[in-house]
Amino acid sequence: MIMTNIEVVTEFLDDLRGGRMIQAPVVTVEEGQVQGKLVKTPGGKSYYSFQGIPYAKPPLGSLRFKAPQSPEPWDGIRDATTEGNVSAQIDRLTDKQYYVGDENCLFLNVYTPTIDGEFLPVMLYVHGGGYLFGSGSSTMYGPDYLVEKDVIVVTVNYRCGALGFLSLNTPEVPGNAGLKDVIQAVRWVKENIKNFGGNSGNLTVFGESAGGAVVSMLAVSPLTKDLISKVIIQSGTALNNWAFQKYPINNARALANELGCESNDIDDILEFLTTTPVKDIVEANNRLAPVDLFIDSATSLFAPVVEKEFPGVEAALTEPFIDLITSGRIANVPIMIGTTTLEFTHERTEDLQSFIPSELNIVLNSDESLAIAEKIKRLYFKGDPNSVESLNEKFQLLSDVLVNIDTYRLIQYLVRATNKPIYYYKFDYVGELNLTNKLLKSLGLKHAGHMDELGYLFKCELQKDVEPTPDDVKMRERMLRLWTNFAKSGNPTPEENHYVNITWQPVTKDNLYYLNISNELSLGTCPDKEKMEFWEDLYVKHFKIWDHPKSTEASPVKEVVDTTPVKEKLLLKV
């Protein structure tokens, strides 16, 4: 059919009035204009996607290892239809594990149902990856399902590994560059999100694993605790033994030595690492910090630090997290926090003494250490040495040591530090959208694993060939409602309905209420009570806050000059 000029003009005006012409919307931010694209969710709902927006100046050259600087303005309209570089890293989500990314990686993505000024709630997601790898890529964290619930989703890339967490305890490189990247992203969102239809006064920051630890740090950092409205901490907290690095200067020297630097002088090391090709740094970092190091020793080679204060230098954290929590210096906001049933499924040494947290300072092979190991055997394996081979109990013990104990401890502190509601959950649903589904099935385990809840919050390309069951679709709808209800109002269950047929009770000082998210929703008190109380008693008896350094200034500094293999040296220091 041939249309007349009048008909063409009429259709154009109809499209304009109906908003269908905004195929390539342009939004103005502090630095200039960005042009995004219109995208449709699998359910057919349209939303606007703005990707690859720089939230900081590229951390190149002399800015390597430094805190992020404000982004530079640009002329004209910047294309925001493709994602920016991920942090330089070894891609550990594939079997090949090859080098990817770039130093110029400080980009974020904004996904919004509207740009018409409705001032929607904002959810900023911080990815995990042990501070070593990961990104805010839509390949892993597609926003489609969350955006369908009328929230704005922001995902962030931050510097990983040594690039983000090298600390020399100097004004030039005090540490926490990667943490400060996320802080800079939060500030950018606060300044600009209104132009994307968002409410800067209703910002929920949520993250999983190392991202959960970062989120808990944001809740106590003086730089951000007044900027956020709510937090969701998933499967990782800043209390975990791996959340902070213990010997940052030794770690920096080990990295430089691995790359061929013969000097142990801090200034020489900085100059050497600043001029070393980034790919070499990432590959050396990977050799020094394989996944086994994290699992076997519950430690991170390059991670956040407690910073020394320097005049004129902005610090993210200058006191231990536990000091800030126990003294009540935390954002007074609603908190959602929880774990999956089996957080870690990795083979580890048979010696049960190795599961005793190093921060308790119990001497290996002492009478006390052996007695505790015997108690662990009885508690987890019913006292039968042969059942130590049971994968389920092994992985439960590993999950408790790496995540669950400190989640439990943090909740105990939080309920005394804030008068806002704290919602505790345990995710144990097993379905086709579980990210560890194939692995755990192959091991004969029927529990939810690390990251599994993410398959019900984000659209993940790893699952593009997976056909969800009706129960999976119901669970996804249930999870989306819980998370977005919380982001909107601070209450995950403001009303009961077909999907959420229960009222989630917040934790009290007397009752550790939690929501068990399984085939059905149910309320309980204190999951794994006997085990958690066993570990809590150990901490009450052995953990001394004052034994822990107030900043990296107080950390032991030992010259790396002996011939012990670097990896062995690092493990000995745990």
Question: Is the full-model pTM beyond 0.85?
Answer: yes
Percent of the chain with pLDDT over 90: 77
Convert the pLDDT of each residue in 214-226 to its tens digit: 999 999 999 998 9
pLDDT at 3 over 50: no
The stretch 323-334 carries a mean pLDDT of 95
The stretch 275-289 carries a mean pLDDT of 95
Q: Report the pLDDT value the prediction gives residue 6, as an integer from 0 to 100.
A: 43
Q: What are 284's two structure tokens?
A: 């050396």
Convert the pLDDT of each residue in 135-179 to its tens digit: 999 999 999 999 999 999 999 999 999 999 999 999 999 999 999
pLDDT at 194 over 50: yes
pLDDT at 573 over 90: no
Helices (H) and strands (E) in the chain, counts: 17, 16
Q: Report the pLDDT value the prediction gives residue 293, as an integer from 0 to 100.
A: 61
Identify which of 492, 571, 76, 510 has the alpha carbon closest to the alpha carbon of residue 299.
571
> Using alpha carbons only, what angle is made at residue 275 by residues 269 and 280, rounded to the nearest 5 degrees?
90
pLDDT at 439 over 90: no
Q: Do domains 1-333 and 337-543 have the same CATH topology?
A: yes
Cβ burial, residue 186 (10 Å; 0-12/13-18/19+) = buried
pLDDT at 284 over 90: yes
Q: What is the mean pLDDT of the chain?
A: 89
Tell me the C-alpha distance between 347 and 413, whole Å: 31
Q: Are 161 and 302 in contact (CB under 8 A)?
A: yes
Q: What are 79's two structure tokens?
A: 């294309």
> 277 falls in which pLDDT band (50, 70, 90)?
very high
Q: Of 3.10.620.30, 3.30.1490.20, 1.10.10.10, 3.40.50.1820, which CATH number belongs to 1-333?
A: 3.40.50.1820
**Beta strand residue intervals within 83-164, DSSP E:** 89-90, 99-100, 107-112, 120-126, 152-156
Q: Report the pLDDT value the prediction gives residue 4, as an integer from 0 to 100.
A: 42
pLDDT at 334 over 80: yes
Active site residues: 209
In this structure, which topology does domain 337-543 adopt according to CATH?
Rossmann fold (3.40.50)
Q: Where are the domains of the chain?
A: 1-333, 337-543
Convert the pLDDT of each residue in 67-126 to its tens digit: 999 999 999 999 999 999 999 999 877 667 889 999 999 999 999 999 987 799 999 999
- Select the more confidently predicted residue: 443 or 136: 136
Tell me the C-alpha distance between 219 and 330, whole Å: 6
Q: Report the pLDDT value the prediction gives residue 11, as an integer from 0 to 100.
A: 42
Contacts for 212 with CB less than 8 Å, ≥ 6 apart: 126, 128, 233, 234, 235, 236, 237
Q: Which amino acid is at 420?
A: K
Identify which of 364, 436, 434, 357 has the alpha carbon closest to the alpha carbon of residue 398.
357
- Select the more confidently predicted residue: 488 or 438: 488
Q: Report the pLDDT value the prediction gives residue 550, as an integer from 0 to 100.
A: 52
Convert the pLDDT of each residue in 336-385 to its tens digit: 999 999 898 776 667 899 899 988 999 999 999 999 999 999 999 876 65
